[in-house]
Amino acid sequence: MKFAHLLPMTLIDYPDHIAALAYAAACNFRCPFCHNSELVLPEETSKLHLIPENDIFVTLHERQRFIDALVITGGEPTLQPGLGRFITRAKHLGLLVKLDTNGSQPEILEALFRAHLLDYVAMDVKGPPARYDELAGVHVDINAIQDSIRLIIHNAPDYEFRTTIAPTITVGDIKETVPMVSGAKRYYLQRFVIPQDKALVDPAWKNKQAFSEEELGAIWEQIKSAFPAGGVR
C-alpha cells in the first residue's frame, strides 16, 4: 500500500482506544471542502515521500506496548489492492483495526467483512442523494454508497456514519441525508474546520460560511431521535 503519513499515537480517532493512524494516499473523490488535498490531488500526491509498509510495521512494533489499535484513513484506503493483506498483517500484531472510507467500493468492504478483518468502520456520507456528485466533486454511483451503508450496518462489529457540514449544506440537506443512514446506531454531524496551513481541494471554499457549533447543535436536536447515539463534533 501507499502511505503518505503515519501518526504513531492518537487518542481521538478510534473511540475508547489508543491507536496509530496511517494515511493512505490517493482518493477517487474531489470534495471541494476537503483539507487533505495532498492525499487527493495527483499533482500533490506525486510530491509526497511515501512511507514503505515495512516502515509502518517497524513503528507499530515499537509502539505495541502503548497502542491497541490501528486506524487506516486517507485519501480512500479501499482503492489500494493491498488493503486486505495489510490489515491481516496488522491483526497478527493483535491490533484492532478501524477503517475510514467514503463507501464508494462496497465490494471491497464486503470482502473485508467476510474475512473478519474490520473492528470498526467510519463512513463519510457526503449529503443527500440529489447533491452527492456536487459535494463529492465527481460523479458518484449512489447505489454503491447505499450498498456500503447497508453492509456496514449489518456486518461491522462497530461503526459510525458522519457528515461534514460543509458550506452550502442546508438544514434541508441534512434532513434529507438522515434517511440514507436509517437504522444506524451512530451518526455525527461534523463541523467544517480548516486546520492551519492546510489547503482545500478547491481554495475558493476557504472563505465560505458554514454552520457554527451552536447552530449544528440545534439541528442535531431536530434529528437525534432517529439514532441511538451520535451528536456534533
Average pLDDT over residues 66-92: 96
pLDDT at 45 (0 to 100): 84
- For 3-54, the pLDDT digits (tens) are 999 999 999 999 999 999 999 999 999 999 999 999 998 888 888 889 999 9
pLDDT at 172 (0 to 100): 98
pLDDT at 198 (0 to 100): 83
Distance CA 201, CA 39 (A): 10
- For 93-146, the pLDDT digits (tens) are 999 999 999 999 999 999 999 999 999 999 999 999 999 999 999 999 999 999
pLDDT at 106 (0 to 100): 98
Asked if pLDDT for residue 196 goes beyond 80, the answer is: no
**Do residues 167 and 209 lie in contact, with contact meaning Cβ atoms separated by under 8 Å?**
yes
pLDDT at 101 (0 to 100): 98
- Reduce the DSSP state of residue 24 to 3 states and report it: strand
pLDDT at 3 (0 to 100): 95
Distance CA 20, CA 97 (A): 10
Phi, psi of 70 (to 5 degrees): -130, 130
Give the chain's mean pLDDT.
95
pLDDT at 135 (0 to 100): 97
Query: 164 vs 12, 59, 190, 201, 211, CA distance in Å?
Result: 17, 31, 4, 15, 11
Mutual angle of helices 106-114 and 142-155, in 10-degree steps? 20
pLDDT at 190 (0 to 100): 97
Of the candidates 70, 64, 59, the residue with the CA atom closest to the CA atom of residue 96: 70
Query: 169 vs 122, 132, 211, CA distance in Å?
Result: 21, 11, 9
> Domains, the chain, ranges and CATH?
3-232 (3.20.20.70)
Of the candidates 138, 142, 106, the residue with the CA atom closest to the CA atom of residue 121: 106
pLDDT at 183 (0 to 100): 95
pLDDT at 140 (0 to 100): 98
- For 142-169, the pLDDT digits (tens) are 999 999 999 999 999 999 999 999 999 9
Q: Give the full edge-to-edge strand order of the sheet including 96-101.
A: 3-10, 19-24, 69-73, 96-101, 120-124, 159-165, 186-191, 229-232
The DSSP result for 48-66, as a single string, is S-PBPHHHHHHHHHHTTTT
Distance CA 88, CA 91 (A): 5
pLDDT at 47 (0 to 100): 86
- For 39-50, the pLDDT digits (tens) are 998 888 888 889
pLDDT at 146 (0 to 100): 98
pLDDT at 193 (0 to 100): 87
Asked if pLDDT for residue 195 goes beyond 80, the answer is: no
